[in-house]
Amino acid sequence: MKGQAVLLPLATLAKYVFAQADTVAYTDAETGIKFQSYTDTVTNTSWRVALPLSTDGNYDVLVQIEGPSSLGWIGWAWGGTMAYNPLTLTWPNGNSVIHSSRMAYGYHSPDVFNETTYQVLKGTTVSGGNLKFTALCKGCSSWADPDGNQQSLDLTQPARLAFALSHTVVANPGDSASSFDIHDSVGHWYADLAAAKSEDFDTWVKDNTIPASNATVILRHRPIRPVEMK
């Protein structure tokens, strides 16, 4: 009886700990990629991630963002906060999808950040009132903090990630370095990144690669207006 009295609370605690992940398994029909996916039900916007089996060093990441094309812009903070971690932004430009790599060095306007790059993949479209951005990210899994210490995605427990979005269109939708207004919505989720790992990672990249001339967006540094993600 005493043993049961100890084991039951431990089992309950373990269930609580592992239930912290907010992501679910999701297979994208267009690309065949199996992601861990989180959806903000208020805006019907989803953030998805897939990882390779080997996650040593600064490994590549498959990322997908999907939401209403009526949104002005959608953002993803890989370290779970606005400052000092890679920021992925995407927005519609007519029937095209624009992406932008940013880094904020404090709680003010994020700068264009060329150390994180994206290879745009199939499954990147604006269609039927929906925007979808699918890419291979180099530099999303590891970054330096303000003291120069290397930080990385946490695969030992559900990882805290962050999002922000706005209904206001960016100043120049055709320019990946465009300025943009402060977010309408911001939040966090916990991702089960261990479950996002797959031996099919390289195959997914190969099968969904499109010509570089169609996938590359030139980043140009421009002054941008204040944005916060606290």
pLDDT at 72 over 50: yes
Q: Residue 2's pLDDT is what?
A: 43
For each of the domains in the chain, give its residue range(s) and CATH number, in order of start. 24-217 (2.60.40.1210)
C-alpha–C-alpha distance, residues 13 and 164, integer Å: 31
Distance CA 55, CA 34 (A): 17
Top mean pLDDT of 106-110, 217-221, 223-227 is at 106-110
> What is the distance between the alpha carbons of residues 124 and 25, in angstroms, rounded to a whole number?
20
Q: What is the mean pLDDT of residues 147-152?
A: 94
Q: pLDDT category, 205, cuts 50, 70, 90?
A: very high
pLDDT at 212: 66
Taking alpha carbons only, the member of 50, 67, 48 closest to residue 165 is: 67
Mean of the per-residue pLDDT values for the chain? 87
* Res. 216: pLDDT tops 50: no
Give dist(CA 25, CA 27) in Å, integer: 7
Q: 7 in helix, strand or coil?
A: helix
pLDDT score for 229: 43
pLDDT exceeds cutoff 80 at 16: no
Res 18 pLDDT > 90: no
CA-based nearest residue to 201, from 193, 189, 213, 211: 193
What average pLDDT does range 200-208 have in this prediction?
98
pLDDT score, position 214: 56
Tokens of 37: 């996916």
Question: DSSP string spanning 124-159?
Answer: -EEETTEEEEEEEEESSSEEE-TTS-EEE---SSPE
Other Cβ atoms less than 10 A from the Cβ of 177: the count is 19
Q: pTM score, two decimals?
A: 0.85
Task: Return the residue matching tokens 């239930």.
Answer: 19
Residue 211 in contact with residue 165, Cβ under 8 Å? no
Average pLDDT over residues 86-98: 97
- By DSSP bridging, strand 45-52 and strand 197-198 are parallel
Per-residue pLDDT of 24-60, as tens digits, reads 999 999 999 999 999 999 999 999 999 999 999 999 9
Does residue 89 have a pLDDT over 90? yes
What single letter denotes the amino acid at residue 199? E
CB-count burial class (<10 Å; 0-12, 13-18, 19+) for 183? buried
Cα dihedral 47/98/210/124 (nearest 10) = 40
Give which of 175, 164, 181 is closest to 218, Cα–Cα: 175
